[in-house]
Amino acid sequence: MTRTTITGMRGSPLPNLEAHGLAKKMKLATALIAEQDKLRRRKSELDHERQRLREEIKQREHEHTREWGRAMRAGEEAPKNEGIEKAKRRLEEVGKEIAAVSHAGDLSAAELQATVAEHREEWNAEVQAKGEKILSEAQEIADALTRKLSETESLVGVHTWLGSSGQA
């Protein structure tokens, strides 16, 4: 089943215009909603990577301290911490990308709001017309179902008669 909403950059639900059959008529909004979804997914990936890097750095620092302590006792040089520095650099890059993605999400959300405001009347008329068409089709189906069900009324009498072994 197709989801009727898409989660926007800030976690708010946005309509899945494709699921509602409105994507072609509302191309601008559809594109901006898709962009919101893409940016939210990227931010989520980056958040997970940031968390993983923080845990990795913590673990590597702990291991480095233990190795350094062993080296001190053995009279050896302190071990290098290149892996820690590399992870810290990546963590910094991820933080910058998260900030950029968040800013892009804010810009996209503002553009979506402006686009909706600009096309509100036109798009609302489209949505209303589609809703009225669906309701009309549903009414036709309900009427056809009512007619079909009424055909069973005479069969109920026959069924009752047969159940009583043909006695009236």
H/E run at residue 13: strand 13-15
**Structure token pair of residue 13:** 């639900």
Q: Are the C-beta atoms of 19 and 2 separated by less than 8 Å?
A: yes
pTM of the predicted structure, to 2 decimals: 0.75
What local confidence, expressed as pLDDT, does residue 1 receive? 64
Tell me how crowded residue 36 is: count the other CB atoms within 10 A of its CB: 23
Closest to 85 (Cα-Cα) out of 93, 73, 77: 93
* Whether residue 143 has pLDDT greater than 90: yes
The string of pLDDT tens digits covering residues 3-42 is: 899 989 888 899 999 999 999 999 999 999 999 999 999 9
Residue appearing with tokens 């480095």: 64
Between 30-39, 75-84, 100-109, the lowest mean confidence (pLDDT) is in 75-84
Distance in angstroms (rounded) separating the CA atoms of residues 81 and 88: 11
Query: Can you give the pLDDT at residue 66?
Result: 95
Cβ atoms 107, 35 nearer than 8 A: no
pLDDT tens for 40-61 read: 999 999 999 999 999 999 999 9
Q: Residue 40: which of 93, 106, 110, 96 has the closest Cα? A: 106
